[in-house]
Amino acid sequence: MTEMHGTTIIVLRRNGKTVMAGDGQITLGDTVMKGTAKKVRKLGDGKVIAGFAGSVADALTLFEKFEEKFKEGNSSLRRAAVNLAKEWRTNKILRNLQALLLVADSQSILLVSGNGEVIEPDEEVLAIGSGGSYALAAARALLRNTDMEAESIALQAMTITSEICIYTNSKFTIETLEGEGQ
């Protein structure tokens, strides 16, 4: 089977807002199969934003599993992420899923992988996918050197990435969570 190439998902926090953005391109080999996929969505009754890079079917399974773990864990993002990572690594069926998951709430940003990793970034920004490094670099520069709002930074980082990475298009989905007191 032809290898499926990635995407770009970025999440960042600034001024009490958590923003996640993703492109809409699904590529199979050297063909764009779809340009308007939604790889970023709200879960957990709107308290969590999640985005994926990797196989679409696998990611949809992970969205469902994460939401299940979130409800079981009394709406704790960290507990849900750790429990998903444990099951993902040890379950015979889930172990074969080929995707990465970014999850965030108003306090935490986490990367969850099938190798059992749950990683929280040092800074308030994280990106995954084939264009993840470009988006991360652009967002860090904007966070460090401008007063732009979170949504504008995410949009600019994704726009820059779509101009560089052939597996990232400019059909973005952007979701925002307001922090407490906002």
SS3 content of the chain, % helix, strand, coil (to 5): 35, 30, 35
Residue type, 117: E
Q: Which residues pair with 177 in a beta bridge?
A: 18
Q: Does 7 qualify as catalytic in the annotation? A: yes
Token pair belonging to 113: 């992988």
From the candidates 2, 7, 61, 90, give the one annotated as an active-site residue.
7
- Measure the CA–CA gap between 9 and 155, rounded to whole angstroms: 11
How many other CB atoms sit within 10 Å of the CB of residue 65? Answer: 19
97 half-sphere exposure, CB direction, 13 A CA radius: 30
- Angle at which helix 132-145 crosses helix 150-164, to 10 degrees, equals 140
With vertex at residue 33, the alpha carbon angle to CA 99 and CA 52, rounded to the nearest 5 degrees, is 20
Catalytic residue annotation: 7
